[in-house]
Amino acid sequence: MTALTLAEKILAAHAGLDAVVPGQIVIAAVDVAIAQDGTGPLAIEQIEELGSARLKAPTCVFFIDHAAPAPRSELANAQKTIRAFCASSGATLSDVEMGVCHQRVAESYAKPGDLVIGADSHTCMAGALGAFATGMGSTDVAVGMASGQTWLRVPESFRIEVTGELQDGVEAKDLMLTLIGTLGADGATYKALEFGGPGIDALPMPGRLTLCNMSVEAGAKAGLMPSDDSTRAFLAALDREADWRPLAADPGASYERVVEVDAAAIVPTVSRPHAVDNTAPAAALKGTRVDQVLIGTCTNGRLEDLRAAARLRRGRRRAPHTRLIVTPASQAVARAAAAEGLFDVFWDAGAVVTNPGCGACVGIHEGILGDGEVCLSTANRNFHGRMGNPGAFIYLGSPATAAATAVAGEITDPRELL
């Protein structure tokens, strides 16, 4: 038996093969195919062009999350198209109140061992459940939904071997920004990042989701985690324990590269404008005045992220010149956060709490930046123009760094406020 990486194992199973090798082209059966309100209308057009009577992929979901609820009529019309298509095709609709696609996929749709494709680049987040999940364009996803299949080149894998445990005030986000700084924004193009080691065994699901979410920021096709007891606990808490099965790479599987990361040595890290790999320790950026802080997005809008932020905010207000926007990743997150009283903490601190969704992340609404303004965001991208204004500057950091920054009004290492 050939020893397989996680990516090879899942792709072989979906291609009906015993084994696959990097570079091989496979036609694979799709379990979950998704699109959102930005990519969905084009996917629907392509499905109609294909003339398919019914969708063959077992789970097809359209999410209205990027502009939810619609801030202008063109978008309201695009959303009407999506609702009508879901009603006629039998695809599942996740409407404006439900939250960001990737969070919803993790909560409700992806299972260990699945092949997930999505017309959104951060589809790779579902890799945290032990799935092979990758972002594609509308046309690829349309074909995947309609035919139930997709073609894939089996990627070479990088093994990211994590030892040690993160220190207090340091989060999975800091580890991932550090790793991307090391690999570079194109350092893993076409590769699968397979995370493992004692540091990953000790890392609960929310952090794993953050790591897999940002794999694409190093160019990777997928980020993958083993499916273990943490995965099981995550699914069990969602009443989905039946969806769990264990999954791991074979001992002796071969990797193109092994990158060792000592989690205990990671410090709060920030990406500077306008590239995710342009990283620096948060402490080194002290004095950088910030006009807006965004806590949320598919990267860091989970309950644990909001808790980490609230921990630093309790009894403290935002700096007068720093707006604070909190956007939970999903309705389930919002409901739990409200029940725990976290929203009260944020409101008392002077925050705006918005509807769950993508919010200000992609520059459509709910927090577009002004000319020359500086934002520190917990999102995954800080590209030029990302938050709706090419004249603005975006820094990326963890929820704890974001909360500390909102209090101080300048970029701040959260450990200063612990």
Partner 1 sequence: MTDEALRGRAWLFGDDISTDHIAPGRLFHLRTDLPQLARHVLEDARPEFAGEMRPGDFVVGGRNFGLGSSREHAPRIIKLAGAGAVLAQSFARIFFRNAINVGLPVLQCDTSGIGEQDELEVDLAGGEVRDLTTGAVIPFVPLPPVMVTILADGGLVAHVKMHGGFDLPEG
Q: Note the residues at the interface with partner 1 (CB under 8 A).
A: 24-25, 27, 38-39, 41-42, 46, 49-51, 66-67, 72, 74-75, 77-78, 81, 118-121, 123, 135-140, 142-143, 146-147, 149, 151, 153, 185-186, 189-190, 216, 219, 221, 275, 362-364, 368, 381, 383-390
Contacts of 260 (CB under 8 A, 6+ apart): 161, 162, 163
- Of 76, 79, 97, residue with least CA distance to 87: 79
Considering CB distances under 5 to 8 angstroms, the limit depending on partner class, which of partner 1, ligand SF4, none binds residue 100?
ligand SF4
Rounded to a whole number of angstroms, the minimum distance from the CB of residue 163 to partner 1 is 29
Least distance (Å) from partner 1 to the CB of residue 24? 7
Is 332:398 a contact under the CB 8 Å cutoff?
no
Q: How far is the CB of 133 from ligand SF4 (least distance, A)?
A: 13
Question: If you compute the radius of gyration of the chain from its CA atoms, what whole number of angstroms results?
Answer: 20
Please list, in sequence order, all residues whose beta carbon lies within 8 angstroms of the beta carbon of residue 68, skipping any fewer than 6 positions away: 37, 95, 96, 97, 355, 357, 358
Side chain identity at residue 304, one-letter code: E
Q: Which is nearer to ligand SF4, 72 or 245 (CB)?
A: 72
Pick between residue 192 and residue 309 the one whose CB is nearest to partner 1: 192
The single residue among 30, 379, 403, 407 that binds ligand SF4, judged by CB under 6 A, is 379
H or E element: which one contains 351? Answer: strand 351-353
Cα–Cα separations (whole angstroms), residue 35 to 12, 21, 41, 51: 25, 29, 9, 19
Query: How many helical (H) and strand (E) elements, i.e. helices and strands, does the chain have?
Result: 14, 18
Which residues inside 84-103 make contact with ligand SF4, applying CB under 6 A? 100-102
State how far the alpha carbon of 329 is from the alpha carbons of 84, 101, 187, 206, 378, in Å: 25, 9, 28, 12, 12
Please give the Cα distance from 398 to 38 (Å, whole number).
26
Q: Binding residue for ligand SF4 (CB under 6 A) from 224, 358, 376, 406?
A: 358
Residue 305 binds ligand SF4, judged by CB under 6 A: no
Among 98, 170, 298, 337, binds ligand SF4 (CB under 6 A): 298
Q: 272 is in the binding site of which of partner 1, ligand SF4, none (Cβ under 5 to 8 A by kind)?
A: none
CB of 71 to ligand SF4, least distance (A): 14
Least distance CB 399 / ligand SF4 (angstroms) = 14
Q: Closer to ligand SF4 by CB, 226 or 359: give it.
A: 359
Q: Which is nearer to partner 1, 39 or 405 (CB)?
A: 39
Residues 6 or more apart in contact with residue 374 via CB below 8 angstroms: 288, 289, 290, 291, 292, 392, 393, 394, 395
* Binding region for ligand SF4 (CB under 6 A): 66, 100-102, 120, 122, 297-298, 358, 361-362, 379-380
